[in-house]
Amino acid sequence: MDLSGKHIVLGLTGGIACYKAAELCRALINEGATVQVVMTQAAAEFITPVTMQALSGRTVYDSQWDAREANNMPHINLSREADAILIAPCSADFMAKLLHGRADDLLSLMCLARPIESVPLLLAPAMNREMWAHPATQRNMATLKTDGTKILGVGNGDQACGETGDGRMLEPQELLQDVIAFFHPKVLAGHHVLVTAGPTFEAIDPVRGITNLSSGKMGFAIARAAQEAGAKVTLIAGPVSLPTPRGVMRINVKSAQNMLDATLAHVDAATMFIATAAVADWRPAAQIDRKIKKDASGAVPQLQFVENADILANVAKSPRARSGQLFCVGFAAESHDLLAHATAKRARKGVPVLVGNIGPATFGQDENALLVVDVHGATEIPRNSKLALARTLIQNLAGRLAVQTV
């Protein structure tokens, strides 16, 4: 329930994307928010107030002359109750109206009358690709951003007019993640976090290889939590099928060597490196170019192994890490004696923080429990969802980073 206790005014303006507002309304409520829908007359041409009333559980407002308000000031009353005003879809016309401070309907009145410091305005634009690219629209957006409005961006794809390009309203789940992220404290603003996640795959032949049970869920959750905290995030992901967190740049790799190469290519731009990936310690000394076939002799293939490079240790001994410009965090997935192994690994890797967990108890699961080890000892983060743990861990690491950079 990431939006528990939040009250959102959901504004709808004219556009075919109004159909997405129905799902968005339900998604906001499912995350704990209360939703008050306010519609323009144009929006009511695309979706009925009855639909939005049924989904929100509240009477929909569509006129500044609404007699239900004792003082006849719904633009004041409704805006004062909100934690944010989210306009989705927001048409090009309505953006232009906001820019000039026009207030000729209830929704634009609310936007103008809202207390700017306490009621943020979030816009989810929706329009034809030519309208989106038009210099007037781009100028309007730039000015609205300067005024403090949060523009949530647009999607790319098929449009109702039959054309294809930028300008589609983002999907409801994308907007939901953006709204959730908006309310998180931006404790990593100005930082660039590099995260490795998932397993690696070391090929034996064209169809077989050595890997492990890491699902990547913890690393992906950490990437999302860092993005929510305001950081620019680059995620280097092993072979997993998880969706990329919103706002995160993803680089897919396969082997440990691939992951090392990608890490070294991007780590110089980072201020924090979080190595959550379960990287294979060894790989076959030689990859066979054809599938190894068994025969009637019963002979077992003899494989030779070589050690993979230690990605975390290599980064931790770099000049930027040693000088404090790069804060390194390691992960340890153990099967037993977690504290002892994690403590020894932190010292061996030469990192300020190492996060330990019991691998067999968490691989593939949506929950985990963490042990944060530093030079002073260890702190437990009790079992919870991986996203909740990731957010707690990011807050912890942000505090350490702030102390280090003072």
| Neighbour-count burial for 3-19, b at 16+ CB within 10 Å, e otherwise | beebebbbbbbbbebbe
25 is a catalytic site residue: no
CA distances from 328 to 47, 81, 213, 273 (A): 51, 43, 24, 5
Q: Which residue in the list 90, 111, 161, 328 is annotated as catalytic? A: 161
Cα angle 102, 108, 109; round to 5: 90
Crossing angle of helices 18-30 and 172-182, rounded to 10° = 50
Q: What is the pLDDT of residues 10-24, one digit of tens each?
A: 999 999 999 999 999
For residue 237, list its beta bridge partners: 197, 252
Q: Is the model's pLDDT at 298 over the cut of 70? A: yes
Mean residue pLDDT across the chain: 94
Return the structure tokens found at 317: 């001994």
- Single-letter amino acid, residue 56: S
Can you give the pLDDT at residue 68? 84
DSSP SS3 for 393: helix
- d(C-alpha 381, C-alpha 387), whole Å: 12
CA distances from 233 to 158, 189, 230, 300, 305 (A): 28, 11, 9, 45, 34
Crossing angle of helices 92-100 and 135-146, rounded to 10° = 50
What is the torsional sign of CA 88, 93, 98, 104? negative
- d(C-alpha 80, C-alpha 380), whole Å: 41
Q: What percent of the chain has pLDDT over 90?
A: 86
Q: What is the pLDDT of residues 50-61, one digit of tens each?
A: 999 999 999 999
- d(C-alpha 218, C-alpha 166), whole Å: 32
Reported as a pLDDT band with limits 50, 70 and 90, residue 406 is: very low
Can you give the pLDDT at residue 405? 57
Return the structure tokens found at 95: 């953006």
Q: Is the model's pLDDT at 41 over the cut of 90? A: yes
Q: Is the model's pLDDT at 376 over the cut of 50? A: yes
**CB contact at 8 A, 236 and 253:** yes
Can you give the pLDDT at residue 402? 80
Average pLDDT over residues 38-65: 96
Q: For 48-200, where are the alpha helices, taking DSSP H only?
A: 49-56, 74-81, 92-100, 106-113, 129-133, 135-146, 172-182
**CB contact at 8 A, 22 and 50:** no
Q: Is the model's pLDDT at 330 over the cut of 70? A: yes
For residue 311, give every residue at least 6 positions away whose Cβ sits within 8 Å of its Cβ, in sequence order, or none: 196, 256, 259, 260, 263, 275, 277, 279
Q: How far apart are the first and last CA of the chain?
A: 35
Q: What is the pLDDT of residues 167-210, one digit of tens each?
A: 999 999 999 999 999 999 999 999 999 999 999 999 999 999 99
**CB contact at 8 A, 329 and 354:** yes
- CB atoms under 10 Å from CB of 156, counted, come to 11
Q: What is the pLDDT of residues 304-329, one digit of tens each?
A: 999 999 999 999 999 999 999 999 99
- d(C-alpha 402, C-alpha 201), whole Å: 36
Q: What percent of the chain has pLDDT over 70?
A: 99
Can you give the pLDDT at residue 70? 80
Crossing angle of helices 172-182 and 217-228, rounded to 10° = 60
- d(C-alpha 91, C-alpha 89), whole Å: 6
**CB contact at 8 A, 64 and 52:** no
Average pLDDT over residues 136-147: 97
Domains, the chain: 7-182 (3.40.50.1950), 192-405 (3.40.50.10300)
Average pLDDT over residues 32-56: 97
